[in-house]
């Protein structure tokens, strides 16, 4: 198996007196799509926050392409090639769609085929139609597309999506899943957090289940598909 | 000076008349895109010709008034750049104006007479001051940033008061005009006016260009969501500091020009009330809008000048007119005529 792009070893993190993560060990290999699952409050968002430098781990280490990044600043981690599509989209209200996509498109991160404005518009034609609209003049679905396109414009080596389909109409959700499948086909390494287990199984190569800050199960989508007792026990499905 | 027309404005250009009919409440620049693009050039031409035409209409006095207006607009533009685009609510901008003015005084006192050296020195010294002040202030946010910039400006104010060599509280008179060079001095009595006009035009053009560059987009992103910008890989502190230094340097240049304009420098020009006045002018014109700063400065100074001619209690009607402006143009004057471009 090839070298992991991202490795977490004994990762522990928390807020103040409360510890949230208890020794997470997992790898994400290049080209792989990994789904991080678990019920609300199990530590998914804290894991992501820790990976992208938003929260300093208490113990353990995170290696990105062999480099330790657990003590690095968030902007440094982003420049190494980790991009996040945050929960709640967080588009900039005073930047137009086009400005969102050109302002951040300066890093190639060794991408053979970097994301250009044209490629992003081809992936999300709706954004091309809304190119001159400001970030706060878009529908929720369009904002989500913009958040994904903004992350892609940095040519990330690892794309992290935190609840990318939350609160969207079914037709828009399908559009997002279609795009994620397309990105997977293009070899985009992705860590995805979402509550739609069936969709995640279709997309992900491997799945991690978090329960009270610990990884209680990890395996392929085929394995998870047949172990339905895990769904009810850990995912509330 | 103008950035290339966007697709929407080109479309609007071809359908301008139809747009007026269909959308009578659309912004001026969308309804008349061709005229809106040319308007800055028209204003520039009128301003350039003003000293030549003023004697014909008996308006010689107003050449100096417009010159002062242009200098204050330079300072206001620099504040608009960091406040309107970068979200840095600095309440000590007049401090940099004062640093620039006192740099001119120091150079004159040291025996230098070149205007270019004095103004260049004002720009550099104010930029260095902004680097030092910004390096500390930008580690804070929100109300703490306002307070710390105010504190630094007041420190500069009291430093100027204590400088007995440069007149202390009484100020310092620049009795001999600075020399702009043999090829400019003596060409026309109002040559300084045109020099200020060219500098102001360059400053507006530069800020406008930068505000719509990728750096400008990043600044607006920082204003909207600093945490997100960090997560996108931007060295937010360095970007803000760069903007703060640029704004401080330009304010210092305005201070240097103001010293030459008034032929007098005093600590009063860097008092915190001057910083607050600049803020009001920028907000009146339109925060984060290309023409916000000059429009705000023009409205304030023209009203002040006009009302002073009629009453000693000019603050009262000025206050009422400003209240009207706030209620009818809460986004600033520029929002009434300018297509929304990165403003709030």
Tell me the CATH number at B198.
1.10.3470
Q: Domain residues of chain A, as ranges?
A: 1-81+197-237
- The CA distance from A62 to A49, in Å, is 12
Instruction: Indicate the number of domains in chain B.
Output: 1
The average confidence (pLDDT) of chain A is 90
Please calculate the CA angle B1-B2-B8 and round it to the nearest 5 degrees: 175
Residue at B3 is within a domain? no
What's the rounded mean pLDDT across residues A15-20?
90
Cβ pair A95:B6 closer than 8 A = no
CA separation, residue A147 to residues A63, A132, A162, A219 (Å): 25, 16, 11, 29
Instruction: With beta carbons less than 8 A apart as the criterion, state whether B78 and B250 touch.
Output: yes
Q: Which of A84, A90, A102 is the closest to B225 by Cβ?
A: A90
Cβ pair A78:B231 closer than 8 A = yes
pTM score: 0.79
Maximal C-alpha separation, chain A? 49
How distant is the Cα of B113 from the closest Cα of chain A, in angstroms? 44
Query: Considering only alpha carbons, which residue of chain B is nearest residue A89?
Result: B228
CA separation, residue B178 to residues A3, A47, B74, B115 (Å): 69, 64, 20, 5
Best mutation target among B218, B221, B239, B290 (most A Cβ atoms within 10 Å) is B221
Q: Which of B214, B223, B234 is the closest to A102 by Cβ?
A: B214
| Site of tokens 């491997």 | A206
Cβ pair A90:B218 closer than 8 A = no
Residue at B21 is within a domain? no
CA separation, residue B57 to residues A210, B51, B188 (Å): 81, 11, 18
- pLDDT given for residue B198 in this prediction: 96
Cβ pair A131:B7 closer than 8 A = yes
Please calculate the CA angle B49-B52-B53 and round it to the nearest 5 degrees: 85
- The CA distance from B319 to B331, in Å, is 18
Cβ pair A92:B7 closer than 8 A = no
3-state secondary structure of B2: coil
Cβ pair B230:A73 closer than 8 A = yes
Give chain B positions within 8 Å (CB) of A78. 230-234
Instruction: With beta carbons less than 8 A apart as the criterion, state whether A151 and A90 touch.
Output: no
3-state secondary structure of B343: coil
Please calculate the CA angle B6-B29-B75 and round it to the nearest 5 degrees: 95
Give chain A positions within 8 Å (CB) of B230. 73-75, 78
Give chain B positions within 8 Å (CB) of A134. 340
Give chain B positions within 8 Å (CB) of A162. none
Domain with B262 in it: 33-337
Residue at B15 is within a domain? no
What's the rounded mean pLDDT across residues A41-50?
93
- The CA distance from B50 to A12, in Å, is 70
- pLDDT given for residue B297 in this prediction: 95
Best mutation target among B4, B233, B240, B344 (most A Cβ atoms within 10 Å) is B233
Torsion of CA B272, B274, B278, B280, to 10 degrees: 80
3-state secondary structure chain A: CCCCCEEEEEEEEEECCEEEEEEEEEEECCCCEEEEECCCCCCHHHHHHHHCCCCCCCEEEEEECCEECCCCCHHHHHHHCEEEECCCCCCCCCCEHHHHHHHCCCCCCCCCCCCCHHHHHHHCHHHHHCCCCEHHHCCHHHHHHHHHHHHHCCCCCEEEEECCCCCCCHHHHHHHHHHHHHHHHCCCEEEEECCCHHHHHHHCCEEEEEECCEEEEEEEHHHHHHCHHHHHHHHCC
Give chain A positions within 8 Å (CB) of B8. 132
Size of interface A-B (CB pairs under 8 A): 68
Tens digit of pLDDT at every position of chain B (344 positions): 344 444 444 434 444 444 444 444 555 666 677 777 788 899 999 999 999 999 999 898 999 999 999 999 999 999 999 999 999 999 999 999 999 999 999 999 999 989 999 999 999 999 999 999 999 999 998 899 999 999 999 999 999 999 988 989 899 999 888 888 877 776 777 899 999 999 999 999 999 999 989 899 999 999 988 888 988 888 999 999 999 999 999 999 999 999 999 999 999 999 999 999 999 999 999 998 888 999 999 999 999 889 888 888 888 888 888 888 888 888 888 888 654 444 44
Q: What are the residues of chain B with a beta carbon less than 8 Å away from any beta carbon of chain A?
A: 6-8, 214, 217-218, 220-221, 223-225, 227-228, 230-236, 288, 340, 342-344
Instruction: With beta carbons less than 8 A apart as the criterion, state whether A36 and A190 touch.
Output: no
CA separation, residue B140 to residues A68, B144, B235 (Å): 29, 6, 15
DSSP code of residue B342: S
DSSP code of residue B265: E
Maximal C-alpha separation, chain B? 66
Q: Give the burial string for A158-194 (b: 16+ CB within 10 Å, else e).
A: bbbbbbbbbebeeebbebbbebbeebbeeebbbbbbb
- pLDDT given for residue B244 in this prediction: 97
Cβ pair A79:B236 closer than 8 A = no
Give chain A positions within 8 Å (CB) of B342. 94-95, 99
The CATH class that applies to domain A1-81+197-237 reads: alpha beta
3-state secondary structure of B128: helix
How distant is the Cα of B143 from the closest Cα of chain A, in angstroms? 22
DSSP code of residue B81: I
Residue at B291 is within a domain? yes
Cβ pair B231:A154 closer than 8 A = no
pLDDT digits (tens, 9 = 90+) for A140-172: 899 999 999 999 999 999 999 998 888 888 888
Name the E strands within B111-171. Answer: none
Strands A67-68 and A214-220: unpaired
Instruction: Give yes or no for residue A26 having a pLDDT over 90.
Output: yes
pLDDT band at A53 (very low <50, low <70, confident <90, very high): very high
Cβ pair A103:B344 closer than 8 A = no
């Amino acid at each position: 198996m090839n070298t992991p792009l991202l490795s977490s070893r004994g990762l522990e993190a928390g807020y103040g007196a409360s510890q949230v993560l208890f020794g997470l060990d997992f790898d994400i290999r290049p080209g792989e799509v990994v789904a991080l699952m678990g019920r609300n409050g199990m530590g998914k968002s804290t894991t992501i926050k820790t990976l992208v430098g938003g929260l300093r781990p208490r113990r353990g280490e995170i290696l990105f392409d062999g480099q330790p990044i657990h003590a690095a600043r968030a902007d440094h981690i982003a420049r190494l090639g980790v991009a996040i599509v945050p929960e709640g989209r967080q588009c900039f209200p005073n930047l137009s769609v086009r400005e969102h996509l050109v302002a951040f498109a300066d890093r190639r991160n060794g991408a053979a085929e970097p994301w250009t404005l044209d490629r992003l518009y081809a992936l999300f034609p709706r954004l091309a139609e809304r190119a001159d609209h400001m970030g706060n003049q878009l529908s929720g679905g369009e904002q989500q597309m913009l958040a994904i396109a903004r992350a892609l414009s940095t040519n990330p080596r690892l794309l992290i999506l935190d609840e990318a389909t939350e609160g969207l109409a079914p037709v828009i959700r399908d559009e997002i899943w279609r795009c994620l499948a397309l990105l997977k086909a293009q070899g985009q390494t992705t860590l995805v957090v979402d509550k739609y287990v069936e969709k995640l199984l279709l997309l992900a190569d491997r799945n991690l289940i978090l329960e009270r800050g610990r990884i209680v199960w990890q395996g392929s989508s085929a394995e998870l598909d047949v172990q339905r007792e895990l769904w009810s026990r850990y995912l509330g499905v | 000076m103008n950035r290339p027309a966007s697709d929407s404005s080109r479309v609007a250009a071809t359908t301008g008349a139809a747009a007026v009919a269909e959308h009578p409440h659309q912004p001026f620049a969308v309804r008349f895109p061709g005229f809106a693009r040319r308007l800055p050039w028209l204003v520039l031409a009128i301003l350039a010709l003003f000293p030549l035409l003023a004697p014909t209409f008996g308006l010689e006095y107003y050449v100096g008034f417009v010159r002062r207006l242009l200098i204050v607009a330079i300072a206001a533009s620099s504040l608009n750049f960091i406040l309107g685009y970068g979200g840095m609510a600095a309440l000590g901008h007049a401090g940099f104006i004062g640093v620039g003015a006192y740099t001119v005084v120091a150079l004159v006192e040291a025996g230098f007479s070149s205007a270019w050296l004095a103004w260049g020195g004002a720009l550099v010294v104010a930029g260095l001051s902004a680097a030092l002040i910004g390096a500390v202030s930008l580690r804070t946010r929100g109300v703490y940033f306002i307070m710390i910039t105010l504190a630094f400006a007041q420190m500069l104010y009291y430093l100027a008061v204590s400088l007995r060599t440069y007149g202390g509280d009484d100020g310092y008179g620049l009795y001999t005009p600075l020399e702009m060079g043999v090829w400019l001095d003596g060409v026309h009595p109002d040559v300084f006016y045109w020099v200020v006009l060219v500098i102001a035009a360059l400053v507006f053009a530069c800020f406008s260009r930068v505000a719509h560059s990728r750096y400008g987009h990043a600044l607006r992103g920082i204003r909207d969501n600093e945490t997100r910008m960090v997560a996108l890989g931007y060295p937010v502190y360095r970007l803000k500091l760069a903007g703060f230094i640029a704004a401080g340097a330009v304010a210092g240049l305005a201070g240097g020009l103001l010293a030459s304009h008034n032929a007098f420098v005093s600590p009063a020009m860097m008092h915190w009330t001057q910083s607050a006045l600049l803020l009001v002018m920028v907000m009146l014109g339109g925060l984060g809008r290309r023409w916000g700063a000059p429009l705000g400065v023009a409205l304030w100074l023209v009203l002040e000048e006009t009302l002073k001619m009629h009453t000693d209690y000019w603050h009262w009607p000025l206050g009422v007119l400003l209240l009207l402006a706030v209620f009818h143009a809460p986004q600033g004057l520029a929002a009434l005529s300018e297509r929304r471009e990165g403003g709030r």
